[in-house]
């Protein structure tokens, strides 16, 4: 499979994403923010970092990049677009996902392991996982508190569009140990078409046992397996 | 004509503002016990070309709708419009 990885000025997790993709035997294609071509990739990753310095608001300026027009078209046609950390912030700013990501409740930049419970397997990103499975994947952000109005949150729950929730290591409610104070402990959501995922934690930083967890690799494998299934039936 | 416009962008009242809480608590610790709440926003100062004050305002409203504020979490208010600055 070919994974495209967007590179904005200030992106910092692009190489880590490429490494994770290659580790699983796939091609990684770097997509420069000024280009419009997606170079025939099967999945676009918007990686972590501080695109355009995160000036004004996180992700606010990146959404105007020429590349993002192509990414929006790709997503509208059902293409897989996966925003991680800053990528999630960009997707919210671009209104490709509901809600917004604001300053952590603690006001601290949190770079630490977090535990995520899989809340739906009905997406390409999670179809290879088990419902309720707990993954250890690190967070690394200062502005990751997910907020949306109650009606939007209810709709997300009703449509099973919450992909991941922060939990304690044993899978119980995270409570005050939440890394950012997200409403309803939401760590990741998908769009209505379920092809666009935004998540704050960094699966690409949990792809090898040497890094303390290889749970993140399960997401990359899930995407690749979903793409392979689609290709077979196409 | 050049107009100087100041826009205040603030978090909606329903959005929790941890920065504001820290400011409030800091003020209280300094002895300003009368402080009931504090919320932190930002002011964006623009200088722009426009034929009239109304045109300047309209342009800034569009800028707010398109970029300067995130409608999910923020409100905006045009604080002041002054003509002839920086000309």
**pLDDT tens-digit profile of B36-60?**
999 999 999 999 999 999 999 999 9
Residue B86 is predicted with a pLDDT of 55
ipTM of this predicted structure: 0.81
At residue B87, does pLDDT exceed 70? no
Flag whether pLDDT at B71 surpasses 60: yes
- Give the H/E segment covering residue A152: helix A150-158
Please tell me the distance in Å from B34's CA to the nearest CA on chain A. 24
Question: What pLDDT digit, counting tens, does each position of A146-177 carry?
Answer: 999 999 999 999 999 999 999 999 999 999 99
Q: Does any CB of chain A come closer than 8 Å to the CB of residue B22?
A: yes
Domain tally, chain A? 1
- How are beta strands A162-167 and A186-190 bridged, if at all? antiparallel
Out of A85, A93, A143, A218, pick the active-site residue. A85
Q: Residue count of chain A, please give it.
A: 234
Determine the average pLDDT of the residues in A69-79: 97
Residue A156 is predicted with a pLDDT of: 98
Dihedral sign (CA A178, A88, B38, B27): positive
Chain B CB within 8 Å of residue A60 CB: yes
Query: What proportion of chain A, given as a percentage, has pLDDT over 90?
Result: 96
Residues 6+ apart with CB under 8 A from A90: A46, A51, A59, A62, A63, A68, A83
A2-7: strand order across its sheet: A27-32, A2-7, A43-46, A80-84, A196-199, A186-190, A162-167, A110-118, A134-141
Range(s) of the domain holding residue A47: 2-233
Tokens (6 digits) for A60: 């606010």
Q: Which residues pair with A28 in a beta bridge?
A: A3
Q: Report the chain A residue with the minimal C-alpha distance to residue B43.
A: A56
The predicted pLDDT at position A232 comes to 72
d(CA A118, CA A116): 6
The pair of three-digit structure tokens given for residue A187, joined into one six-digit string: 């760590």
From chain A, the residues in CB contact with B13 under 8 A are: none
The stretch A197-221 carries a mean pLDDT of 97
Residue B5: pLDDT over 90: yes
Question: Domains in chain B, please, with CATH?
Answer: 2-83 (3.30.1280.10)
**What mean pLDDT is predicted for residues A195-216?**
97
Tokens of A201: 């934690």
Average pLDDT over chain B, rounded to an integer: 94
Chain B touched by A56 (CB under 8 Å): yes
Question: Domain of A99: which CATH number?
Answer: 3.40.50.880
A106 in Cβ contact with A180 (< 8 Å): yes
Mean pLDDT of A122-126: 98
Give the pLDDT mean for A63-91.
97
Tokens in use for A36?
């419009």
Q: Rounded mean pLDDT of A12-20?
A: 97
> pLDDT at position A231, please?
78
Chain B contacts of A105, Cβ < 8 Å?
Answer: 16, 18
Q: Select the residue from B63, B70, B74, B76 to test the A interface by mutation, using most A Cβ atoms within 10 A.
A: B70
Chain A residues close to B68, C-beta within 8 Å = 56
Contact check, Cβ <8 Å, B11/A105: no
Helical ranges in chain B per DSSP H: 18-29, 53-63
Considering only residues 57 to 86 of chain B, which have any Cβ-Cβ distance to chain A shorter than 8 Å?
A: 67-68, 70, 72-73
The phi and psi torsions of A45 (rounded to 5 degrees) equal -105, 130
* Helices and strands (DSSP H and E) totals, chain A: 5, 11
DSSP B30: T
pLDDT at B76: 97
| Strands A196-199 vs A186-190: parallel, antiparallel or unpaired | antiparallel
Contact in structure between A114 and A187 (CB atoms under 8 Å): yes
Per-residue pLDDT, averaged over A21-46, amounts to 97
What is the three-class DSSP state of A148? coil
Overall pTM surpassing 0.90 (yes/no): yes
């Amino acid at each position: 499979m070919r994974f495209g990885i967007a590179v904005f000025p200030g992106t910092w997790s692009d190489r880590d994403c490429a490494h994770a993709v290659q580790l699983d035997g796939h091609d990684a294609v770097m997509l420069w923010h000024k280009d419009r071509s997606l170079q025939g990739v099967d999945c676009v990753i918007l990686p972590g970092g501080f695109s355009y310095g995160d000036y004004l608001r996180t992700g606010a300026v990146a959404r105007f990049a020429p590349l993002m027009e192509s990414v929006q078209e790709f997503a509208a046609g059902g293409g897989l677009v996966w925003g991680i950390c800053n990528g999630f912030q960009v997707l919210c700013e671009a209104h490709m996902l509901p809600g917004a990501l604001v300053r952590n409740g603690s006001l601290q930049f949190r770079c630490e392991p977090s535990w995520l419970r899989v809340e739906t397997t009905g997406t390409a990103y999670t179809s290879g996982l088990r419902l309720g499975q707990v993954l250890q994947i690190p967070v690394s952000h200062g502005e990751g508190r997910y907020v949306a109005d109650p009606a939007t949150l209810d709709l997300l729950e009703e449509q099973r569009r919450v992909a991941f929730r922060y939990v304690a290591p044993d899978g119980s409610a995270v409570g005050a140990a939440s890394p950012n104070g997200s409403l309803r402990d939401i760590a990741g959501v998908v769009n209505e078409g379920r092809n666009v995922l935004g998540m704050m934690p960094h699966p690409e930083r949990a792809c090898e046992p040497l890094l303390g967890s290889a749970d993140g690799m399960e997401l990359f494998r899930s995407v690749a397996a979903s793409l392979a299934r689609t290709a077979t039936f196409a | 004509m050049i107009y100087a416009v100041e826009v205040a962008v603030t978090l909606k009242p329903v959005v929790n503002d941890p920065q504001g809480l820290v400011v409030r608590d800091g003020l209280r610790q300094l002895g300003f016990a009368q402080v009931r709440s504090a919320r932190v926003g930002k002011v964006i100062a623009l200088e722009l070309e426009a034929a009239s004050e109304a045109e300047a305002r309209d342009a800034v409203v569009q800028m707010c709708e398109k970029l300067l504020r995130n409608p999910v979490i923020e409100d905006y208010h045009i604080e002041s419009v002054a003509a002839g600055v920086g000309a």
